[in-house]
Structure 1
Amino acid sequence: MKRLQNRVAVVTGAAGGMGRAHCRRLAEEGADIIAVDLEENAADMVAVAEEVESLGRRCVTGFADVRDPLAVEEALNTGVTRLGRLDTVVANAGVYADLAPTWELSDNSWQRALDINLTGVWHTVRAAGPHLGSGASIVIVGSTNGIKGGAAAAHYSASKHAVVGLARTLANELGPQGIRVNTVHPGSVATPMILNADVYAKLLPDLPNPTRDDAARVLAQRTILPVPWVEPVDIGNAVLFLASDESRYITGIQLVVDAGLTQKV
């Protein structure tokens, strides 16, 4: 028996690197998927659905900006109606952009990060709540910047610290109903959110046109294990564990997957 056989999971930000990995990993273990992302990512969502269905599972795609509570609710309700239940919530949608020192951040950059990374999680969990019962699991994807601070990312770090508080509160509120709530905190992950020119420039501000290899050398110096980043499947494996009965008595924790980034002295 697969670990999530015949269960249903909703994944927000499903078209992106980590979101797609979550959909695939949960489907590999028997889950049907409600995949939610922006309509502008429709082509990628088709690919996600095809990948899930190639594993013998059903996939319902829905389009919503997590900043829009009505759109999130509609996408989720449609998915539950078609698939019949909801067992797992993976609040994965997030942004890591407009990196700058705190005093140079615009009001729009600050608010966008909070609206998507924090309020979007709240919208997702609130819409899912009426569909969840005993044994359900909510997994919120945070960041190592939700465990420690990060220069030039005050908006991102603040939003990711905040979801830890939200998750701890939800764990206390939903625990008596048998519903678990935990956060997963990736370090650098090999997705376009990290592997892009803006991040390379932040890592090596004195180097003209830094490359992926240049960034890898810098990031490898920050981890205990000899790698610059982890792969999306490594975060998917952590999400799978927290979604499965293997973690049935784990709630309110922060599971860090960062190759030792937050522990290096």
Structure 2
Amino acid sequence: MSSGQEQTLPPQVQDRQPGHETEMNPRPDYEPRYPGSNRLQGRTALITGGDSGIGRAVAVLFAREGADIAIVYLNETEDAQATKQLVEREGRACLTIAGDVGDPGFCRSAVDQAIQRFGKLDVLVNNAAEQHPKGEISEISPEQIDRTFRTNIFGYFYMVQAAMPHLKRGAAIINTTSVTAYRGSSELLDYSATKGAIVAFTRSLAQKLAEQGIRVNGVAPGPIWTPLIPATFPAEKVKSFGANTPLKRPGQPNEVAPSYLFLACEDASYITGSILHPNGGDPTES
């Protein structure tokens, strides 16, 4: 991203991942844009990384459409409590669960807690992620590779494994991948690799679960204004975040959440193994 690009955001950084929405300026826009129409009435959804960013927008939109919500988050308690209040504002129940999706034992515990609270699980959204840019491949430590893969793709396997005993015909799994899976990223080699793995995982799992009537799809966002951005990049890069898209700006979480809703509800009853691309016009998807 060149320094000559137009400013899209105030320069800012956060010193820890996955970042905190409460510290962002401006705050991401998570508010659903339309009244609900009961497209998820009576359903229960578990959303990893559900405390902020895309996960928060998905949680609030699903709640507006009638779903009860369990959100999994690492340690951003203030953001998680804010999301819980937003879900409850929509008239639905919300369970918050703190822990590391890279731990298979935690994933089993999180699903068990959701089942204990709501009695069932209809939609699983794998969304938690981390990224650590490096200028050279030699700078990527084994520990970083392990950590990125453990959160971004191992966690998806673990959550699906934990959820499968509870998912019935008509259930949906939605995995968050990224535009970087299609166009790459010279500074995010390990992150991009995990996002490519998520695409293959999604397409393969869709084939595996089709006979059980469980649909599996993915969403590949472009540059979206979430806490991960100021927690990842230097202030000068944040300043022009999203300027290189055809729409010349970053997207907001509430511009991405409807893709998840579509894939979660019966509107997408004949869609499985597919990826949606809310990315500001990037032409690289396939």
Sequence identity of aligned pairs in percent?
37
CA distance in 2: counterparts of 1:62 and 1:94, whole angstroms: 16
CA distance in 2: counterparts of 1:211 and 1:142, whole angstroms: 22
CA distance in 2: counterparts of 1:48 and 1:3, whole angstroms: 20
Match of 1:141 in 2: 176
CA distance in 2: counterparts of 1:112 and 1:152, whole angstroms: 16
What is the aligned counterpart of 2:245 among 198, 211, 223? 223
Q: Answer yes or no: is 1:254 the counterpart of 2:247.
A: no
Verify the 8 A CA contact 1:99 1:152 in the aligned structure 2. Answer: yes
- 1:64-83 aligned at under 5 Å gives the runs 64-83=99-118
What is the aligned counterpart of 1:20 among 56, 62, 67? 56
Verify the 8 A CA contact 1:88 1:137 in the aligned structure 2. Answer: yes
Number of residues of Structure 1 aligned to a counterpart in Structure 2: 249
Q: With CA pairs under 8 Å and 6+ residues apart, which has the higher RCO, 1 or 2?
A: 2
- Greater CA drift, 43-52 or 132-141: 43-52
Match of 1:86 in 2: 121
5+ unaligned residues in a row in structure 2: which ranges? 1-36
User: Structure 1 residue 229: deviation in Å?
Assistant: 1.1
Verify the 8 A CA contact 1:62 1:76 in the aligned structure 2. Answer: no
- Provide the TM-score with structure 2 as the length reference: 0.83
Verify the 8 A CA contact 2:182 2:284 in the aligned structure 1. Answer: no
Match of 1:34 in 2: 70
SS in 2 for 1:75: helix
Which structure has the highest helix share of the two? 1
In the TM superposition, what whole-angstrom CA distance separates every residue of 1:5-40 from its partner, at most 9, and x where no partner exists?
A: 1100000011121111111111111110011112x2
* TM-aligned CA distance change 1:234 to 1:99, over 3 Å: farther
SS in 1 for 2:220: strand
In the TM superposition, what whole-angstrom CA distance separates every residue of 1:192-251 from its partner, at most 9, and x where no partner exists?
A: 21245x52x4xxxxxxx62644x14xx32x2222x3211111221111110010001100
Match of 1:59 in 2: 94
- 1:1-265 aligned at under 5 Å gives the runs 1-38=37-74, 40-196=75-231, 198-199=232-233, 201=234, 210=236, 212-213=238-239, 215-216=240-241, 219-220=242-243, 222-225=244-247, 227-263=248-284
Verify the 8 A CA contact 2:183 2:284 in the aligned structure 1. Answer: no
5+ unaligned residues in a row in structure 1: which ranges? 202-208
In the TM superposition, what whole-angstrom CA distance separates every residue of 1:150-175 from its partner, at most 9, and x where no partner exists?
A: 11111001100001111111101100
User: Structure 1 residue 100: deviation in Å?
Assistant: 3.0
CA distance in 1: counterparts of 2:212 and 2:194, whole angstroms: 27
CA distance in 1: counterparts of 2:280 and 2:173, whole angstroms: 24
RMSD: 1.6
In the TM superposition, what whole-angstrom CA distance separates every residue of 1:47-78 from its partner, at most 9, and x where no partner exists?
A: 11111111100111112200111111111111
